[in-house]
Amino acid sequence: MNGNGPNKMVDPLEDPLPGLGTYEDFNTIDWVREKSKDRDRHREITNKSKESTVALLHSVSDAFSGWLLMLLVGLMAGGGAYIHDMHEIRLFFFFPPNVTLLSFSLQGAFAYIVNYLMYIVWALLFALLAVALVRAFAPYACGSGIPEIKTILSGFIIRGYLGKWTLIIKTITLVLAVSSGLSLGKEGPLVHVACCCANILCHLFTKYRKNEAKRREVLSAAAAVGVSVAFGAPIGGVLFSLEEVSYYFPLKTLWRSFFAALVAAFTLHSINPFGNSRLVLFYVEFHAPWHLVELVPFILLGIFGGLWGALFIRANIAWCRRRKSTRLGHYPVMEVLVVTALTAVLAYPNSYTRMSGAELIAELFNDCSLLDSSQLCGYKPPTNTSKTGVGNSLADRPAGEGLYTALWQLALALVFKMMITVITFGMKVPSGLFIPSMAVGAIAGRLLGVGMEQLAYYNHDSFIFKGWCSPGADCITPGLYAMVGAASCLGGVTRMTVSLVVIMFELTGGLEYIVPLMAATMTSKWVADALGREGIYEAHIRLNGYPFLEPKEEFGHSSLTVDVMRPRRSDPALAVLTQEGMTVGEVEALVESTRYSGFPVVVSQESQRLVGFVLRRDLLISIDNARKRQEGVVSASQVVFTEHAPAQADDGPPPLRLRGIVDLSPFTVTDHTPMDITVDIFRKLGLRQCLVTHNGRLLGIITKKDILKHMAQIANRDPDSILFN
Amino acid sequence: MNGNGPNKMVDPLEDPLPGLGTYEDFNTIDWVREKSKDRDRHREITNKSKESTVALLHSVSDAFSGWLLMLLVGLMAGGGAYIHDMHEIRLFFFFPPNVTLLSFSLQGAFAYIVNYLMYIVWALLFALLAVALVRAFAPYACGSGIPEIKTILSGFIIRGYLGKWTLIIKTITLVLAVSSGLSLGKEGPLVHVACCCANILCHLFTKYRKNEAKRREVLSAAAAVGVSVAFGAPIGGVLFSLEEVSYYFPLKTLWRSFFAALVAAFTLHSINPFGNSRLVLFYVEFHAPWHLVELVPFILLGIFGGLWGALFIRANIAWCRRRKSTRLGHYPVMEVLVVTALTAVLAYPNSYTRMSGAELIAELFNDCSLLDSSQLCGYKPPTNTSKTGVGNSLADRPAGEGLYTALWQLALALVFKMMITVITFGMKVPSGLFIPSMAVGAIAGRLLGVGMEQLAYYNHDSFIFKGWCSPGADCITPGLYAMVGAASCLGGVTRMTVSLVVIMFELTGGLEYIVPLMAATMTSKWVADALGREGIYEAHIRLNGYPFLEPKEEFGHSSLTVDVMRPRRSDPALAVLTQEGMTVGEVEALVESTRYSGFPVVVSQESQRLVGFVLRRDLLISIDNARKRQEGVVSASQVVFTEHAPAQADDGPPPLRLRGIVDLSPFTVTDHTPMDITVDIFRKLGLRQCLVTHNGRLLGIITKKDILKHMAQIANRDPDSILFN
């Protein structure tokens, strides 16, 4: 980027000064510069490889280091997920066995109360430990981490967010948080954990340690790995990374993500944590096909999922905003304890809320057969009133008392989960949203499914069911409804579509149910989008004021670049450096009197013809270094950005030549460029800033932050909510 | 793009003149301009939608037209594929029944010879009909079509390539070509057929008819649909489109492709062409897991696939080049007939070459059980010498006479297929490469698989097999080897990875075999890439001189933009227009004396400060129109590109104002920009040309063709092989 063509001898990218070309915390990287740096490095290695065998070996190992890194990420994340699962299971041993309210006797009641209290105490202990560890050691370990990872992948820097402390503390506290019975899942945080693994492993390879763009390629793959181990769905994981998380996802990353996701799934599979030979989290196998008429309830589930998703996002964001702006935010530990206590008190009496979210979903997804002893399968035995169908053990049956009890409990669980998740997500403990959302949808789906089943059983002669649902046939599968409902609600909250369907497809392993899933998730997305454009992760990104330029949303306004750039018409002129004629003192004064992160270099103040762009950080480091190391550099020394130093007076101090730090290929657009094109350029090239010209003269500058502020203004939001550059 | 901000009253994009903003045949589109045009259209509809209910309905229907189009494409392609399959089956009825050489008697010999001759005559008839139809009605219907579709999707225009005649003729002749027994498949051409369907359906919607960029989004989805119906693999199809064919693949297209691919698969599934309830082309179900040791033969298959892929590409390209450069190319009908006759004569005696490629692959993929009567399963019955394993009907058994015969025939078939495919692909009939490549790999895999099986059977005590392959166990599945081999060879030829593995995964429906497939395809890609960077489609693109900027390959050279741009140092200066001061006659003279497709507009010849860029086509149309319609426009009229017309002499003719056709936001890079960045900009933004500046002055222009020529030069190829702009 710095014009280091073959004709230049001094290459400023060779790290002549430490810190040159690096970024400060909470800043946006320049993708083009980073990628160009990597290509320079690669070119150099390739050129050297012709010289000696050692260099050739270095070149080969460099080429394969990406794959090796992927292998390590896969192994580490796969192994980590296993340890994680084991811990969770161990911790669950502390819990008292299931004693339901039905076994009511005096002794039973006493035991029940003791267990109830024990449950609450354990829950509070786990939660306290979790929040204390997060507060003490790694504040970044809280939440799901996906909004921040999205922002980081789009080119933002948050130091320590993917560090070893975050990894360790998040792994431990996630187990504690899940064990405390809070309405949260571990799937989202597993993506964060996988990204931490990848980031730490990146330090083993210079190629990835030193280059922010290359590292982000690895992190994209790690996000895929996280979902791959969370659900046992490698293809779904890759598509999740592509659709939901990643910003820059070249084909090379696609291959590598897929490889890493497979390695991770295979590693986990080899250790076999789910206790069966399948590697998926919720393995389901349905026996009956679905009928076209059932698309109506499936689409209803999609509408429910979309509505719930949109409402959940609004409620959760409102609650989080309240936490930020009121005194509530000052007592995070207390908040966690109160919510945990509330959850425990309300959850224990109902067996469907007492069990973990994953268990609940697994039970709801299950198909009933006569042998199943679950309450959900409390049907009356076949009465044989119908003479046609005898002996089909899977046939639709009338609901019995057990099932009616289960339905009531499920309805209460639905209301409870819908409420409690809103205040749980965003607390200072690791908390994922996949499982709670899926649980809400699965409950709703199962309720509708059982309803449909009973409707079909009692009305099999009506025009709707006639022809495909004869008595004694197994025509409605409530488990499938639960699955469709789970997909709808997760889709409504996260706005995933393809990746969600593929994850679900990998869970069932059959193409037959893709159409219901597709119909429901699409409906869900449309309904939710109609009520609010943003998914939960984008909403949290905006809440935190991160500079994230959504790649999916089109810029719909008809403004021109001149309306968005700085300086505005009333502002003072743009601060520029001239390529010669300024002294070190003048440059320092200019830098100190402004807070811009970079300055354009022009031929002269009069012509305003653009030469290049120099970053504030690089300028300060270089001048500082020159003052320390180079002789004769004083405030009166000329700063020269041209290739050849001008003829100078003999008596003056020698000039300070800084062409090496000038980016001689800054991006420019004209003032007449419609903003939609400018936004497109920023998105596609991953720019940080762009200069604006008019008829060949430099007119102003436009940064990512300016664009985001402008977009906020158009959407009637506070432009000052964009906090970072 | 044309600076149509809110402050301008006359919008040049409203089609004031027919032809303005369109492209000529064999030219590259400007993605940015097309997308900007669509956003303008969308914005206008959205703004209008607030005014009346009709406009609101129009806006809603516009928003859903994309999905409707996808639905139609899915239905049409799914239905088309069905008709296609049926036809093929019907045509196969003409063929004589299988009479093998084994039933040798005098009468049998006579019948055999008659059948042999009949086979050859039928084959020649089919081939003649196919090539005659192609030559007579739709010359674009030949070949696989994928190289051209890749080029079209990257932004090239080939009128008629996706037209209705191509669709009709390709559908008919593809059936004929497959039926003629040539070594070709129908899967690649099905992608072309699906794209034709999509292109024709695009004409129903203004949004897609008028916008080249939007239409290409639909075509990307159609490519996914093609693979989806060809293999019954919707997810694999979407990934195929993403990995192999598409250029611009936003997330919206991902969702829509997936939807269309599902609709198509579901349509085909509902009509059920493969005669079973599965919708995949080769449904396989294996009973034995694979062992880690088996990765060695799988990787060997990967190496074989890579070697064959690279060699095939070289041989095929050499043959196609010979066809282009020698007299061979003048007799395409004769060539087809000779190759058909050769194929028929050599293929008939061997039952494995006589059957169609798809049948052969299905047979090779199959797992043997005791009941299977195929020659490939001609094992000796279990001898019960081992006392441990009794009654396992799937156990490894020693090869019998039938199997040995089959192996000989397969080996001969392998050599035959490897040779004949080289001269078949590229002839003037529709011909796909998927099935022949897979057949070669499947034969090689099956041979190796049977070899491994026998090795394991006779050496189950050796250290390699001990522990996992006890006597009487079913430890080696030759069908799996065939599948891995097929994936390797297809991967070697096309360089697909993820999509290939996913297609194979969808065929088996189990995650268990992903690791072997992944290992083999990765090895195959690495081996093939080491021998030649290009896949068969890229090689054919280059052979035809299409302007295709490969998105996967990194630009590795360290040249600067100034080295690649025109004019070169020795050339005459760049032809520019000044924003005022030129007359109509001068402009016309400039346009006629050059062949450039566009001209930069500058403030003045002295300052060379850039104002905008005007396309030759737009300029000619506008001047021509003005001369016809506008009064007082003569050769001496001033042409004015500024916003406000200059004060003019009273006696002169009125000026011709052409600011409306000037692109006021042309892309610029500086002369110091490294070429890798410039190439990246061209790729990511889909540019056609970019202006080059130095210190704010216009210096030159760089086009896609210049870049491709430069890249050809670096790779020591003929730069003049790039034929189009």
Alpha-carbon separation of residue A481 from A448, A488, B184 (angstroms): 7, 10, 44
Q: pLDDT value at position A554?
A: 76
Instruction: Residue A261: list chain B partners with CB under 8 A.
Output: none
Within B93-145, residue ranges assigned H as helices are 106-137
Q: Write a three-state SS string for A333-372.
A: HHHHHHHHHHHHHHHCCCHHHHCCHHHHHHHHHCCCCCCC
> B426: alpha, beta or left, given left = phi > 0 and alpha = psi -120 to 50?
left
Q: How far is B414 from chain A (nearest CA, A)?
A: 30
**Minimum Cα–Cα distance from A601: chain B residue:** B695
Q: pLDDT value at position B394?
A: 58
Among A521, A519, A525, residue whose Cα is nearest residue A487: A521
**Minimum Cα–Cα distance from A264: chain B residue:** B515
The residue with tokens 């030649």 is B532
Cβ pair B558:A43 closer than 8 A: yes
Q: How far is B520 from chain A (nearest CA, A)?
A: 12
Cβ pair B668:A668 closer than 8 A: yes
Alpha-carbon separation of residue B389 from A647, A717, B372, B386, B473 (angstroms): 95, 74, 21, 6, 7
Instruction: Residue B601: list chain A partners with CB under 8 A.
Output: none
List the structure tokens of B394. 């799937």
What residues form DSSP beta bridges with B379?
B399
B154 SS3 class: coil
What residues form DSSP beta bridges with A612?
A601
Out of B3, B515, B557, the one facing A672 most closely (by C-beta) is B3
pLDDT tens digits, residue range B308-330? 999 999 999 999 999 988 888 88
Instruction: Residue A693: list chain B partners with CB under 8 A.
Output: 668, 696
Cβ pair A518:B258 closer than 8 A: yes
Cβ pair A497:B258 closer than 8 A: yes
**Contact present, A489 and A525 (Cβ < 8 Å):** no
Cβ pair A3:B501 closer than 8 A: no
Burial state string for A269-297 with b = 16 or more CB within 10 A and e = fewer than 16: beeebbeeebbbbbbbebebebeeebbeb
Count of beta carbons in the 10 Å neighbourhood of residue A569: 6
Q: What are phi and psi of A700, to 5 degrees?
A: -175, -165
Q: ∠ at Cα A279 (A276, A281), nearest 5°? A: 90
Count of beta carbons in the 10 Å neighbourhood of residue A690: 24
pLDDT tens digits, residue range B570-597? 888 888 999 888 889 999 999 999 888 8
Q: How far is B445 from chain A (nearest CA, A)?
A: 23
Out of B1, B250, B254, the one facing A677 most closely (by C-beta) is B1
List the structure tokens of A603. 């031929």
A600 DSSP assignment: E
Cβ pair B664:A681 closer than 8 A: no
CB pairs under 8 A between A and B: 188
Q: Rounded to whole angstroms, how far apart are CA atoms B533 and A86?
A: 46
Residues of chain A with pLDDT under 70: 1-16, 84-106, 272-281, 369-373, 382-395, 472, 508-511, 645-651
**Given the DSSP bridges, would you call strands A689-694 and A638-640 parallel, antiparallel or unpaired?**
unpaired
**Contact present, B206 and B245 (Cβ < 8 Å):** no
A13 SS3 class: helix
**Contact present, B343 and B181 (Cβ < 8 Å):** yes
pLDDT tens digits, residue range B477-490? 888 999 999 999 99
Q: Which helix (H) or strand (E) holds B697?
A: strand B697-703
Within B545-595, residue ranges assigned H as helices are 561-564, 584-593
Instruction: Residue A36: list chain B partners with CB under 8 A.
Output: 674, 676-677
Among B435, B443, B475, residue whose Cα is nearest residue B457: B475
Among B210, B202, B177, residue whose Cα is nearest residue B84: B177
Ordered domains of chain A (ranges, CATH): 69-271 (1.10.3080.10), 292-372+394-543 (1.10.3080.10), 561-721 (3.10.580.20)
**Contact present, A691 and A666 (Cβ < 8 Å):** yes
Cβ pair A498:B252 closer than 8 A: no
Burial state string for A657-679 with b = 16 or more CB within 10 A and e = fewer than 16: bbbbbbbbbbbbbbbbbbbbbbb
Q: Rounded to whole angstroms, how far apart are CA atoms A616 and A20?
A: 11
Instruction: Residue B685: list chain A partners with CB under 8 A.
Output: 680-681, 684-685
Within A203-349, residue ranges assigned H as helices are 206-209, 212-231, 234-240, 251-271, 295-325, 332-347
Residues of chain B with pLDDT under 70: 1-17, 84-106, 272-281, 369-373, 382-395, 472, 508-511, 645-651
**Contact present, A130 and A429 (Cβ < 8 Å):** yes
